[in-house]
Amino acid sequence: MTTTDTGREASVQSTAGPGVAGSLSPSRAGDFMTCPLLYRFRVIDRIPERPSLAQVRGTLVHAVLERLFDLPSERRTSAEAVGLLGPQWERLLGAEPELASLFGEGAEAEAERSAWLEQARTMVERYFTLEDPRWLEPAERELFVETVLESGLKLRGYIDRVDVAPSGDVRIVDYKTGTAPRADFEARALFQMKFYALVLWRRQGRVPRLLQLMYLGNGEVLRYEPDEADLRATERKVEALWQAIRRAMETGEWRYRTSRLCDWCDHKQRCPGFGGTPPPLPVVPVDRPSPADLEPVARERDDL
């Protein structure tokens, strides 16, 4: 996984294309559901965010699990996967040298980095308690998918893994480096997976058989079997979110919504909910199909 690009795209035409009114990913849809103002800060204002150690650890663990399947099946062991941590961390540092500064300086920094890598190691080892990769041959890894709905809204995103059975049945797999949500939050956790299932269904005409969330923070697996009714409901929800985003764009009213997540938000100091003041809205031409067209296609960091 890579950092989301923070550069503003040159034009809407470069991302929208003929007949496309705008675009949305599950991460940005989740931002708007969490807090419309957060969506504005990330998509409209494009205010840079400093990655957290937890996010970067998620990126590292995902990279290891992706490359694990490059190995011959007999070598897909816990020891081999742990051995990938060092090289993948060096690769991430090579691409983003500034990540080294997350650990501060001096001897304390080295101790913090070692503890952080040990946490990543624990998550990688925990993966092997959930399934045996020696018996799996994923059809796709880090798969970019997109489709355009009848409304002109383009849905797009990256799927961690797609498995296809001999029968043709499809399983969508997503790795999470956090812990499994409580039962009353499961629907929100499954929204991302249903979003991906909707895209594949619209592209291929077949409903994925199984959605599987693997929580490496505590070793739990959340499985769900969707049907057409689920995906039609997801499509209606996505369209409703789209209309809400459009209204916010037209009116300039990006409401904030406070929650416990605010304690981890980079934009807390500029949020009116905590006495802050948002920056002036950037000028966006009225003929732009949607603010979501400013959203980059690049892979976002693991959402915990």
Quickly tell me which residue has 């895209």 as its tokens. 199
162 in a domain, yes or no? yes
Same domain, 209 and 184: yes
Q: Are 69 and 141 in contact (CB under 8 A)?
A: yes
Span 297-301, average pLDDT = 50
Same domain, 151 and 33: yes
List pLDDT tens digits, range 21-69: 889 999 999 999 999 999 999 999 999 998 999 999 999 999 999 999 9
Q: Which of residues 87, 105, 135 is at a domain's end?
A: 135
List pLDDT tens digits, range 166-181: 999 999 999 999 999 8
Q: CA-based angle 152:153:156, to the nearest 5? A: 135
Same domain, 200 and 171: yes
- Is pLDDT of 12 > 80? no
- Domain region containing 193: 20-47+137-294
Alpha-carbon separation of residue 102 from 52, 108, 148 (angstroms): 8, 12, 39
Distance between CA 244 and CA 254 in Å, rounded?
Answer: 10
9 in a domain, yes or no? no
- Is pLDDT of 301 > 60? no
13 in a domain, yes or no? no
Would you state the pLDDT for residue 286? 47
Same domain, 141 and 260: yes
8 in a domain, yes or no? no
Between 59-68, 178-187, 195-204, the lowest mean confidence (pLDDT) is in: 178-187
Beta bridge partners of 173: 161, 212
CATH code of residue 249:
3.90.320
Same domain, 26 and 65: no
Beta bridge partners of 163: 171
12 in a domain, yes or no? no
Distance between CA 225 and CA 212 in Å, rounded?
Answer: 9
Q: What average pLDDT does the chain have?
A: 88
Give the closest residue to 250 by CA, choosing from 290, 196, 212, 197: 290
Same domain, 216 and 257: yes
The number of folded domains in the chain is 2
Same domain, 285 and 198: yes
Same domain, 93 and 81: yes
Burial of 129 (0-12, 13-18, 19+ CB in 10 A): exposed
CA 268 to chain centre: 21
Same domain, 172 and 276: yes
Same domain, 282 and 147: yes
DSSP H or E segment with residue 78: helix 78-83
172 in a domain, yes or no? yes
Highest mean pLDDT among 2-6, 108-112, 215-219: 215-219
Residue 39: φ, ψ to 5°: -60, -45
List pLDDT tens digits, range 64-84: 999 999 999 999 999 999 999
